[in-house]
Amino acid sequence: MFENIKKPVVLGVAASLALGIFAVAPAAHADPVSPSYVAVGSDTLEASMNALTNGSNATGSTVRVKANGSAIGNFDAFGSAKIQTKSTGPFFVRPAGSGNGVNALIASIRGTGFNGTDITGQVDIARSSSSAGANANANGNLVYVPYGRDAITYVYKPVAGHEADLASLTTAQLAGLYNGTITMIGSTTVNVMIPQSGSGTRKTWLADLGVSTDGTCSLAVCTSSTTPENDASQLTVAGSIIPFATSNWIAQANGYQTTTITGGQLLGTIDGNAAATGTAGNLVPGTAFYGTSYGRDTFLVVEYARVNPADPKYDATLAGLVGSSLTASLTSFGTLPNQSGAVKKKFGFLAPSSTTPVRAYAW
């Protein structure tokens, strides 16, 4: 299913970069080779970043963020095992997820190798659905620039005749389901599901519920799961439940991303706060829910020296791409139809709770 979800977006990039701007997207299968900057990492930010870097008409206006007129290469979290991000650069293991993305960025800066490959200069931006957390450091070599606010909720597949059982749950009920103390809600025997172990969504979800902070849990599914995140089609059994990025659900329901909502799956409500409001096609984030502890700011991570005007490595173009106050940037949350923020809202993101960049990872 990943192929179905991700490939079409990647293809658009590939066509424009490899064949020249006047080419119609052909049925080629290739990842982009970027003439400018490269972003890797989180699956959660992937769809909206693809929209911004490849161009999107979601707001009615064509919005495409460029680097001095050049296309930005945004690499999906999943796909072929290896990627080549820049011409003449090496093929290296595809960074899958937030943590992998940040690690690849560090390897690109420090030349320390990524999964055994020297990728110096091959990665410029890491997508991260997690904050710097414990890695925050006032003298850090990286800087986390807020990108938008997402929220994690759950998606369920109801049992016929008992549709209301899983529609609205409390944090206590969800915690009981994921630590194994609860197996039934109402008349529904719950089939608890969770994304694969590297998923940022899984990690955050378990932490939000107070089950664990490292992504471990005592359920058998937690050790065996290979389930991709944000894929509703994985819920084939009635009574199933799985954590899900609300932004991703909204983007799929609104038609800006290939939908996986193919089998009657529904978005759950936690503690009485709806994660999204409106109807499919015009879903918007539930502001109250995004403001709870289930909400999370997401980030683009870059090397601090390259956006610090006082540093010899300063790169005005990269600084422009992640300058929150600049309307033409990736991190802008301007609401006009020509601005990135309006696109991100269509993809289920609200403005981050803070626009303050956070430095992290000192070495």
Partner 1 sequence: MKKSILRSAALAAVGGLLVAAVAPLSAFAATAPAYDTTTDAPVHLLLGSDLSNMTSGTQIDWNTLDGVNLSPNASPADLGDYSWGSFAPVSGATSWIGFLSLPGQERTPMSWKQWGDFVGIGTGVLIPTVYPGYLGNGAPAATKAAGGTYSMGIAYTDGTAQASAHVIKAYYTTINVDPGTGTWTFSALPSVCTVTTVDHTTTTALAANPTTGDVGTTTTLTATVSSDITVPGNVEFYAGSTKVSTVALASGSATKSVTIASQGDNTYSAKFVENTVVGQCVNNAQTNDHFVGSTSSNLVVTGTIPAVQLPPNGPSENALNSATAHGATASYSSPKATLTVDGANNGTTVNVFAYSAPLYLGQLTVTNGSIMVDVSQLPAGDHKIAIVDPTTGDVLAWASFTKTDAAAQPSFQKQINADVANGTTPADGEFSLTNLSGTTVNLTNPALVNGASVVSGQLGSFKVTDLRQVSKPGWTLKTDVAQFVKGSDTIANSALGIAPQIVAQAGTGATAPTLGTAQVSGSASYPWNFATLAAGNFSGVSTYDAALVFTAPAGSPAGTYTSTLTLTLVSN
Q: Which residues bind partner 1 (CB under 8 A)?
A: 16, 20-24, 55, 57, 59-64, 66, 68-71, 138, 143, 145, 304, 307-310, 314, 316-317, 319-320, 322-329, 334, 336-339, 355-359
Closer Cβ to partner 1, 114 or 147, answer by number? 147
Q: Tell me the closest approach of the beta carbon of residue 310 to partner 1, in angstroms.
A: 8
Taking alpha carbons only, the member of 11, 52, 5, 13 closest to residue 28 is: 11
Nearer to partner 1, 12 or 180 (CB): 12
Distance CA 311, CA 166 (A): 54
| Nearest CB to partner 1, comparing residues 87 and 327 | 327
Task: State which residue, 96 or 142, has the beta carbon closest to partner 1.
Answer: 142
Q: Cα(240)–Cα(157) distance, rounded to whole angstroms?
A: 5
Least distance from partner 1 to the Cβ atom of residue 354, Å: 8
Give me the least distance between CB of 320 and partner 1, in Å please: 5
Separation CA 44–CA 78 (nearest Å): 12
CA 69 to chain centre: 25
Closer residue to partner 1, CB minimum distance, 180 or 337: 337
Check if the beta carbon of residue 330 is closer than 8 Å to that of residue 340.
yes
**Cα 284 from chain centre:** 17
Query: Taking the complex as a whole, how short is the minimal distance between the CB of residue 348 and partner 1, in angstroms?
Result: 22
Task: Identify which of residues 56 and 247 has a Cβ nearer to partner 1 in the complex.
Answer: 56
- Residue 187 Cβ, how far from partner 1 at the closest point, in Å? 47
If you search the block for the tokens 């870097």, which residue do you land on? 53
Written as one letter, the residue type at 333 is: F
Q: What is the DSSP letter of 157?
A: -
CA dist 267 and 257 (Å) reads 17
Nearer to partner 1 by Cβ, of 101 and 323: the residue is: 323
Which residue lies nearer to partner 1 by CB, 60 or 116?
60
Q: How far is the CB of 306 from partner 1 (least distance, A)?
A: 9
Give the chain's end-to-end CA distance (angstroms, integer).
39
Instruction: Give φ, ψ of 133 to 5 degrees.
Output: 55, -130
Cβ-proximal residues to 18 (8 Å cutoff; 6+ apart), any chain: 28, 30, 32, 33
Closest approach, Cβ 182 to partner 1, in A, equals 39
Cα 54 from Cα 171, distance rounded (Å):
38
Quick one: DSSP state of residue 217?
-
Question: What tokens does 60 get?
Answer: 């009615």
Distance CA 115, CA 101 (A): 12
In the complex, least distance from residue 332 CB atom to partner 1, rounded to whole angstroms: 9
Q: Which residue, 87 or 218, is less far from partner 1 as judged by CB? A: 87
Tell the smallest beta-carbon distance from residue 53 to partner 1 (Å).
Answer: 12
At its nearest, how many Å lie between partner 1 and the CB of residue 20?
Answer: 8
β-bridge partners, 359:
143
Nearest by Cα to 96 from 244, 195, 212: 195
Nearer residue to partner 1 within complex by CB, 47 or 342? 342
Question: Distance (Å, rounded) from C-alpha 61 to C-alpha 336?
Answer: 9
State the alpha helices, DSSP H only, in 71-199: 98-110, 171-179
